[in-house]
A and B are shown apart, each in its own frame.
Chain A
């Protein structure tokens, strides 16, 4: 366990270092310097600004400085909003995104698993076909299109939910559904195929032969085993929720980190893009690691020692 964890943490650190290094050099390669959009300024002021942000240093000093600051959880200032640091941006935006994301994950898991289980129990019956057609449609609709249609139908035409903004529960329903739609469909397909595999096992037959009710077999024997692939999907799921939040928050005008990130992209606010990218990468790498540990804990057949999983 300890050996496995150190190995994983080492690779995580390597991935992270690669991301930080890549973003740092990409941003240096990007056209223009942070102050080009502003009015022509006297060279003395520009030199002062450069000195203030350490841009007069050679690249390796800037790079070392940046690495050191990231380790101390300091993502530096935003170049566009002089008074704001990237840390402030994250502290303000992330809690909002987190609430929305958790709501979406909850919806995706609840509906996805239910649909998948029903489809598997009614294999090759109309319920199965219906659930799978819904699922394949759900996978085929990009989240921003889903969001736009939900907004058009339920907010603009029917007026059931508010069109946009953030603050109340009602305002979070449509964005959470839009964010959850794709993952729900994916989880439904995943659950269905793993349920079908589990249901064909001998111990299910044994349970049936012992006279256990259908409900108990499904809940206590089948789902507990069939849920494992869904657990391992949690890592990619959180990545999907994060990237999905960029477009969803923009459409619904939610002041989360996702819409902040999009704003920074459109403003070419390089330090903010860099900082938020690194922040997201840390979140995602940690969540993948947590999922893997969780996976080992709930499935005793998996030993977290080798380092190569699933082989």
Chain B
């Protein structure tokens, strides 16, 4: 037991004001969440991993003298070496360069799809939850019917019809992707809107957009953030899946999915051509998943110690 010297104590008297004073610095909600997020080692690891991946996507291409599209037919299918860190593919293109180029595209598709889902989902779910009644009924029934359509089947169908490309892929993913977000936001808004501070705000004459923007959405931010982080890996997953079906991007564009797809054909003799893109797909999905889990756990008051 550590000895605590007497002079560390001072008598404050028995005034109720003094004894009720909170001496610890006040902790805002998000600071508190962040403190608890930091304690989750796996989640922090995921965050560091993700930051590293994003930094490398921009810095990586400058670390070698090659570029992602230039063929060198004298050096095809080279194993990893000091010259080509991740080896080369069947056209002698440097895999290290291509991985970081693909990182930009895969991450862009994932984040763009998630952001579109966010915007549509928050607006749709917010309006449905806030208006309630008939409006809510109609809007959520539309969402239910769309939700009944198998997600990947619809995405495949749209890719067949719209043709292959980054934007058609993002569009195809967003068409039903927003429904999860909308449902979640609606649930949050429904439970928040009956609280007294909303009534107070209304009494003071605040309009719908102010109540939504200033009160409801900020208070629902936690679950929104969790859904958002868990949408990104889904989109990256879908991108890889579509690439494998031959519905992905067309050359010279390349994503991790298309590289993995090329690699599977060559797996038996040149396994590194599958290994590197596959590893980065998994690492990215893993990072987003543990970050999402970490935020969810940090937000859950029942897990507070």
Closest chain B CB from A30 CB (angstroms):
5
Report yes or no: A266 in contact with B149, Cβ–Cβ below 8 A.
Answer: no
Of the candidates B157, B161, B264, the one whose C-beta lies within 8 Å of that of A144 is B264
Contact status of A136 and B293, CB under 8 A, knowing A148-B264, A148-B274, A265-B156: yes
**Interface members, chain A 117-170 (any B CB < 8 Å):** 133, 136-137, 139-142, 144-145, 148-149, 151-152, 156
Chain A hits for B290, CB < 8 A: 136
Asked, given contacts A29-B161, A144-B241, whether A136 binds B289 with beta carbons under 8 Å apart, the answer is yes
Interface pair B160/A15, CB less than 8 Å apart: no
Contact of A284 with B150 in the complex, beta carbons under 8 Å: yes
Does the CB pair A247–B245 fall under 8 Å? yes
Q: Which residue of B lies closest to A163 (CB)?
A: B268
Establish whether residues A139 and B285, one from each chain, have CB atoms under 8 Å apart when the complex forms: yes
Q: For A11, give its contact among B145, B156, B263 (CB under 8 Å).
A: B145
A31 touches B (CB below 8 Å): yes
Chain B residues, Cβ within 8 Å of A243: 150, 152-153, 241
B208 to chain A minimum Cβ distance, whole angstroms, is: 24
Q: Is the Cβ of B160 less than 8 Å from the Cβ of A139?
A: no
Beta-carbon contacts under 8 Å, A42-100 to B = none
Q: Are A142's CB and B157's CB within 8 A?
A: no
- Give complex CA distance A239, B245 in Å: 17
Q: Which residues on the A side are within 8 Å of B247 (C-beta)?
A: 265
Q: Is the CB of B289 within 8 A of A145?
A: no
For residue B237, CB closer than 8 A to chain A, the reply is: yes
Residues of B with C-beta under 8 A to A14: 145
B: number of interface residues (CB 8 Å): 42
Please classify how large the interface on chain A is, using the bins under 10, 10 to 19, 20 to 34, 35 or more: 35 or more
* Contact yes or no, B282 A140, CB < 8 A: yes
* B268 contact set on A, CB distance < 8 A: 152, 156
The smallest beta-carbon distance between B145 and chain A, in angstroms, is: 5
Interface residues of A (CB under 8 A from B): 11-12, 14-16, 18-19, 22-23, 26-27, 29-31, 133, 136-137, 139-142, 144-145, 148-149, 151-152, 156, 239, 242-243, 246-247, 250-251, 262, 265-266, 268, 273, 277, 280-281, 284-285, 288
| Top 10 A-B pairs, shortest CB-CB distance | A15-B148, A140-B286, A140-B285, A243-B152, A26-B161, A145-B278, A30-B161, A144-B244, A148-B264, A140-B282
A-B contact list, 27 entries, CB within 8 Å: A18-B148, A22-B149, A27-B161, A136-B286, A136-B293, A139-B285, A140-B233, A140-B285, A140-B286, A141-B285, A142-B240, A142-B281, A142-B285, A144-B240, A144-B244, A144-B260, A148-B267, A148-B274, A152-B268, A152-B271, A247-B245, A262-B245, A265-B246, A265-B247, A281-B150, A285-B148, A288-B148
